[in-house]
């Protein structure tokens, strides 16, 4: 086909033949993407307490492996033109029978939002690439001067967002929320919202190409149309002042034309109110005493209704108050030593399959953790949905939250570092008012090198600058003594910068057989609380054999028994999150009839049935809970 002749009479196209010099260079395109990724609309925290309409539901989709909807035939993005002539984001409809149009959202299939595409459609199970989503919605405002935003809980991995044919921006990072203001662009009826989601893995991305979990793509969390007053409370932060249990520190940010206003914070149940004034930037800081506060803990997950008021906006949040710190090798919760009886969790729903996203999913997963006897959970290996932290607040489960700096990241690439920092900051901004969250984790199993330690140190500094009240850690690795296979050494130089000395170990699974566990002895370099962020073994639920047979429930249960006995001999051991609550999908696990694409280290199988090791850990946690000093 002579493509040139086909386009000969088309409307002028600046990127068409003859206009080569006006093509944006690769560097300019990258700058465009980075600029739009950094393009910040006002933060919208506490989004579920705001006035909003759900845009969840069936969205029309076009699977676009060759990205015809994004690039023209010279591979230049349509949206780089000032007045794009093509691109699926224009959401065109054929006007007359002669018009050539090779896509049509209205007649395309649908997928449910929120939800990954892989688990909704068998043909998309392994799909990695671009998929276009389109929904239509009306946007009738309740007041003429109110403002409108579209909010995305998460889109994995890159999202290009368009409203009524205009680009709102690009967001990078698969697990953190983002929003765009659409006040000027939205119409009362018939808005077209198009999102190109691309889950292609990249070596310089966060995470990188190599992970042990499924790369679920799509609009994986809630999409909301949010309405705010013209000047509104765009973010808030309120918790106990560091080092005290009776003083509250708060800060708020207003966005809009009337930034300077009187501001009031109240906690009616405690009979406290604090008043202040926002400055020219819309910021106000508060500090006030509280009396008779019931501190939040797993045993008593007390939350208080807190209200935030200005003349133009009001908002409320349910917030718990607790302290967390370390002293030598102790972890102190509300000033008392605590042992973290934990479990690691991937955000997957074993019954429905695929990425979990709903409050009910959070209740299911954290409910199992409670049944196991946990007071703690590690939300591995990326930010889970906001519902997890909110449900943990209600149920009384302490949390470790993590960013996907996993295995081999491009340590020397400044863009990779900027990306990781943004993901970490966005996670902290979203969950910094949740009492359940006590640990920000900046990485998992990263290979020791000066570049990696500098990269992670920057993340630690970022976390501490954003939130000085929580602990910072990372799941590190154990080093072997070349002279003695049973001698395990914990000496990662990064351990100097973390509050917990957390590491993963797989003695008896990747490292020898279970009989090795009893022979191991440890050298631990730092006087910090030792936290075992992973141990475990694969077991196919329902498959029984002797304790030396790999993949049997007996092997896994025996490994748990032996590991617990070994860990109890480490004097500074203060908690663990064994790997993992439920079996989860992983393309790294092909063994037929045993793994079939699942990592089988769950204590619960793919169908929700518990394995023997669940009972072993439960028994240990019951004992630890009984031994714990009563509050």
Query: Could you give the C-alpha distances from 213 to 166, 208, 581, 588, in angstroms and in order?
Result: 34, 12, 14, 8
Cα separation, 86 vs 69, in Å, equals: 8
Kindly state whether residue 445 participates in binding ligand GCB, applying the rule CB under 6 A: yes
**Could you tell me the smallest distance in angstroms from the CB atom of residue 591 to ligand GCB?**
13
Integer Rg of the chain from CA: 26
Considering only 135, 170, 444, 541, the residue that binds ligand GCB (CB under 6 A) is: 444
Nearest CA to 400 among 495, 473, 465?
473
Give, as one character, the DSSP assignment of residue 263. Answer: E
CA 99 to chain centre: 44
With respect to ligand GCB, which residue has the nearer C-beta, 212 or 558? 212
Under rule CB under 6 A, which residues in 347-366 are in contact with ligand GCB? Answer: none
The three-state secondary structure class of 381 is: coil
**Could you tell me the smallest distance in angstroms from the CB atom of residue 347 to ligand GCB?**
13
Nearest CA to 232 among 179, 274, 190?
179
**Could you tell me the smallest distance in angstroms from the CB atom of residue 132 to ligand GCB?**
31
**Could you tell me the smallest distance in angstroms from the CB atom of residue 122 to ligand GCB?**
25
Under rule CB under 6 A, which residues in 588-627 are in contact with ligand GCB? Answer: 599, 601
> Which residue has its beta carbon closest to ligand GCB?
212
Q: Residue 554 — φ and ψ, nearest 5°? A: -65, -40
**Could you tell me the smallest distance in angstroms from the CB atom of residue 399 to ligand GCB?**
17
Contact in structure between 52 and 226 (CB atoms under 8 Å)? yes
Burial of 590 (0-12, 13-18, 19+ CB in 10 A): exposed
| Residue window 237-276: x/- pattern of binding to ligand GCB, with contact defined by CB under 6 A | ----------------------------------------
Kindly state whether residue 579 participates in binding ligand GCB, applying the rule CB under 6 A: yes
Give, as one character, the DSSP assignment of residue 71. Answer: B
Nearest CA to 179 among 164, 167, 161, 166?
161
With respect to ligand GCB, which residue has the nearer C-beta, 156 or 444? 444
**Could you tell me the smallest distance in angstroms from the CB atom of residue 331 to ligand GCB?**
22
> Would residue 552 be called left, alpha or beta, if left means φ above 0 and alpha means ψ between -120 and 50 degrees?
beta
Kindly state whether residue 387 participates in binding ligand GCB, applying the rule CB under 6 A: no
Number of residues that bind ligand GCB (CB under 6 A): 9
**Could you tell me the smallest distance in angstroms from the CB atom of residue 24 to ligand GCB?**
38
**Could you tell me the smallest distance in angstroms from the CB atom of residue 16 to ligand GCB?**
47
Helices 359-372 and 386-395: angle between axes, nearest 10 degrees: 50
Cα separation, 580 vs 587, in Å, equals: 17
Nearest CA to 153 among 217, 235, 220, 59?
220
With respect to ligand GCB, which residue has the nearer C-beta, 182 or 409? 409
Kindly state whether residue 504 participates in binding ligand GCB, applying the rule CB under 6 A: yes
3-state helix, strand, coil in the chain (%, to 5): 20, 30, 45
User: CB atoms < 10 A from the CB of 205, how many?
Assistant: 22
**Could you tell me the smallest distance in angstroms from the CB atom of residue 409 to ligand GCB?**
14
Query: Could you give the C-alpha distances from 609 to 370, 556, 577, in angstroms and in order?
Result: 16, 15, 20
Cα separation, 175 vs 177, in Å, equals: 7
With respect to ligand GCB, which residue has the nearer C-beta, 441 or 453? 441
Kindly state whether residue 198 participates in binding ligand GCB, applying the rule CB under 6 A: no
**Could you tell me the smallest distance in angstroms from the CB atom of residue 381 to ligand GCB?**
6
Kindly state whether residue 499 participates in binding ligand GCB, applying the rule CB under 6 A: no
With respect to ligand GCB, which residue has the nearer C-beta, 263 or 579? 579
Kindly state whether residue 492 participates in binding ligand GCB, applying the rule CB under 6 A: no
Contact in structure between 398 and 377 (CB atoms under 8 Å)? yes
With respect to ligand GCB, which residue has the nearer C-beta, 410 or 556? 556
Under rule CB under 6 A, which residues in 519-548 are in contact with ligand GCB? Answer: 534
With respect to ligand GCB, which residue has the nearer C-beta, 461 or 477? 477
Q: Which two tokens stand for residue 449?
A: 């090198």
Kindly state whether residue 212 participates in binding ligand GCB, applying the rule CB under 6 A: yes
Kindly state whether residue 386 participates in binding ligand GCB, applying the rule CB under 6 A: no
Chain contacts with ligand GCB (rule: CB under 6 A)? 212, 381, 444-445, 504, 534, 579, 599, 601
């Amino acid at each position: 086909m002579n493509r040139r002749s086909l386009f000969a009479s088309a409307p002028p196209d600046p990127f068409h033949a003859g206009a080569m010099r006006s093509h944006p260079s690769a560097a300019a395109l990258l700058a465009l993407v980075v600029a739009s990724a950094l393009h910040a609309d006002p933060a919208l925290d506490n989004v579920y307490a705001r006035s909003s309409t759900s845009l969840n539901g069936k969205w029309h989709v076009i699977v676009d492996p060759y990205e015809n909807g994004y690039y023209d035939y010279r591979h230049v993005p349509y949206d780089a033109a000032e007045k794009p002539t093509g691109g699926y984001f224009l959401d065109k409809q054929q006007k007359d029978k002669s018009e050539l149009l090779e896509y049509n959202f209205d007649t395309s299939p649908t997928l449910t939002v929120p939800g990954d595409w892989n688990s909704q459609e068998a043909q998309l199970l392994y799909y990695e690439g671009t998929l276009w989503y389109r929904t239509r919605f009306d946007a009738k405002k309740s007041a003429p001067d109110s403002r409108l935003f579209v909010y995305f809980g998460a889109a994995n991995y890159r999202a290009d967002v368009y409203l009524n044919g205009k680009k709102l921006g690009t967001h990078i990072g698969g697990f953190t929320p983002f929003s765009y203001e659409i006040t000027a662009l939205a119409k009362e009826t018939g808005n077209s919202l198009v999102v190109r989601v691309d889950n292609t893995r990249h070596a310089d991305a966060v995470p990188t190409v190599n992970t042990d979990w499924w790369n679920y793509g799509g609009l994986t969390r809630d999409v909301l149309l949010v309405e705010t007053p013209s000047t509104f409370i765009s973010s808030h932060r309120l918790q106990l002042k560091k080092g005290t249990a009776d003083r509250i520190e708060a800060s708020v940010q207003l966005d809009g034309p009337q930034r300077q206003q009187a501001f009031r914070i109240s906690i009616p149940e405690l009979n406290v109110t604090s008043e202040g004034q926002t400055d020219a930037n819309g910021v106000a800081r508060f500090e006030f005493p509280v009396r008779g506060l019931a501190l939040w803990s797993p045993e008593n997950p007390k939350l208080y209704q807190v209200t935030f008021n200005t003349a133009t906006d009001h908002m409320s949040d349910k917030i718990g108050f607790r302290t967390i710190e370390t002293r030598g090798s102790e972890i102190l919760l509300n000033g008392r030593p605590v042992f973290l009886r934990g479990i690691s969790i991937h955000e997957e729903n074993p019954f429905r399959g695929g990425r979990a996203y709903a409050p009910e999913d959070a209740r299911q997963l954290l409910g199992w953790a409670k049944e196991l006897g946990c007071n703690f959970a590690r939300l591995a290996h990326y930010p889970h949905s906001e519902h997890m932290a909110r449900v943990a607040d209600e149920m009384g489960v302490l949390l470790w939250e993590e960013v996907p700096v996993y295995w081999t990241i491009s340590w020397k690439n400044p863009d990779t570092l900027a990306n990781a920092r943004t993901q970490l900051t966005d996670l902290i901004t979203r969950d910094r008012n949740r009492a359940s969250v006590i640990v920000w984790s900046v990485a998992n199993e990263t290979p020791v090198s000066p570049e990696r330690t500098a990269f992670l140190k920057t993340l630690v500094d970022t976390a501490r600058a954003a939130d000085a009240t929580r602990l910072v850690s990372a799941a590190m690795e154990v080093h072997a003594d070349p002279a003695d296979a049973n001698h395990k050494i914990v000496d990662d130089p990064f351990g100097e910068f973390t509050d917990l000395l957390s590491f993963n170990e797989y003695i008896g699974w990747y490292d020898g057989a279970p009989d090795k566990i009893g022979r191991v002895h440890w050298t631990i370099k730092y006087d910090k609380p030792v936290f075992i962020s992973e141990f475990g073994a694969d077991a196919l639920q329902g498959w029984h054999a002797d304790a030396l047979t790999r993949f049997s429930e007996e092997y896994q249960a025996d490994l748990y028994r032996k590991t617990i006995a070994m860990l109890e001999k480490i004097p500074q051991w203060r908690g663990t999150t064994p790997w993992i609550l439920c079996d989860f999908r992983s393309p790294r696990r092909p063994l037929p009839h045993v793994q079939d694409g699942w990592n089988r280290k769950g204590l619960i199988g793919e169908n929700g049935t518990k394995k023997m090791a669940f009972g072993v850990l439960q028994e240990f946690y019951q004992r630890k809970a009984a031994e714990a000093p009563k509050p």
